[in-house]
Amino acid sequence: MISAVGSSRLRFGLALALLLASPAGPHASVGVPPIRVRQLILHLEGTMAPDRATAATLGFQAVSFGVKGQDPRLRLWLGVDKAYPLGDYPVLGKDILENVRMYDPNFFVVGSRELVRRFLDLQPGTRVVLEALVDRGLRTFLLRHVDVAAGSH
């Protein structure tokens, strides 16, 4: 009969022998690929609007924005007529917007004070070009560019 101590030594010895006898030895990988998350930079063009109904008439989709650090009831509306991810992101811009359509607001704006201030200063009727790093799970919209289109007010 093998004692409990002898039994655990025997199991350890067998496990060590099997590990060393494997083709890759003790440095074998488990085959789990590293997780790489593609960053999504979303480009939006459209016209700022005072409300959802007006935004819906100004583009193919009305998008709402809340702004971190502001009144939670504040909504800024954009009637989007162009939406696309920059780079080779494998999803269409319209599909990204469709995925957040059910939420209110659709996105939470964050960013530098200067960019957030420029965004907050946009008036209804202003044509804009926005670019932001988007987290689709948290729905954050980290501003990268806030540009007023030529000929807009």
pTM of the full predicted structure? 0.74
* pLDDT 10s digits, 66-102: 999 999 999 999 999 999 999 888 889 999 999 999 9
pLDDT at 38 over 60: yes
In the numeric block, the tokens 């989709």 are attached to 61
pLDDT at 122 over 60: yes
Shared-domain flag, residues 85 and 137: yes
Structure confidence at residue 4 (pLDDT): 56
- Confidence tier at 10 by pLDDT (50, 70, 90): confident
Shared-domain flag, residues 25 and 70: no
Contacts for 103 with CB less than 8 Å, ≥ 6 apart: 139
Structure confidence at residue 87 (pLDDT): 87
Shared-domain flag, residues 44 and 24: no
Shared-domain flag, residues 75 and 144: yes
pLDDT at 139 over 80: yes
pLDDT at 31 over 70: no
Shared-domain flag, residues 101 and 140: yes
Shared-domain flag, residues 94 and 136: yes
Shared-domain flag, residues 15 and 48: no
Contacts for 100 with CB less than 8 Å, ≥ 6 apart: 106, 107, 136, 139
> How many structural domains does the chain have?
2
Higher pLDDT, 48 or 29: 48
Residue 140 lies in a domain: yes
Shared-domain flag, residues 23 and 79: no
Residue 35 lies in a domain: no
Shared-domain flag, residues 20 and 53: no
Q: Domain containing 84: what range?
A: 40-148
Shared-domain flag, residues 94 and 60: yes
Residue 34 lies in a domain: no
Structure confidence at residue 149 (pLDDT): 84
